[in-house]
Amino acid sequence: MKLILASKSPRRIELLKQIHPDFSVEPAKGDEIVPERATPAETVMALAKAKAEEIAAQHPQDLVIGSDTIVAVDDQVLGKPKSHDHCVEMIRSLSGRRHQVYTGVALALEGKTECFYDVTEVEFYPLSEEEIQWYASLEEPYDKAGGYGIQGKGSLLVKGIHGDYFNVMGFPVALCARKIRKYFDFTKTK
């Protein structure tokens, strides 16, 4: 049995290496369809499940991991910024407030899929208009849910977090390690 990550995210690839160094990457290509009236937790699990099952259909004997991350403020899901103005609007909405980062994970093997999620609360400092415009002028926020990357310059906006830091990067490492352990025991690798 092989381990396959159904994502091309460099952050997820790097974080999965913490659990198990030997896996292949085969990104899912399907459309991301969000169920109507779904909660943020239901949304990320549905998206992760679709990705895992798409790749698992081609590799039924291998363990396939699908994952998806969203940012929510007041239960409003913030996707990836579509423009500079959209990014400014997102960062402004997070300024001086707490929001939640949800990551859903799906493990698919032999026609069965296990889904779970983690949530981390993040608080931003109150930001000046100058700080907001500066951050939105960078390349960093445009491929990230919520319009910021905590592992980069976005860390300068964050006052604190409650929960798994790596979940904010897009992959709840410790929780995933415990779920994957029944297939691949990370304590047996160096």
- 68 a catalytic residue: yes
CA angle 66, 190, 6 (to 5 degrees): 10
Choose the catalytic residue: 22, 31, 62, 68: 68
In 3D space, the residue among 66, 60, 93, 64 whose CA is nearest the CA of residue 78 turns out to be 93
Compute the distance between CA of residue 31 and CA of residue 47 in angstroms, rounded to an integer. 9
Do 167 and 119 touch, CB atoms closer than 8 A? Answer: yes
Residue type for position 75 = D
Tokens 């290496």, residue? 17
- Cα separation of 12 and 173, whole Å? 9
Our CA angle for 162, 166, 167, nearest 5°, is 70
* DSSP string covering 10-49: HHHHHHHHHH-S--EE----S---PPTT--HHHHHHHHHH
Residues annotated as catalytic (active site), given as ranges = 68
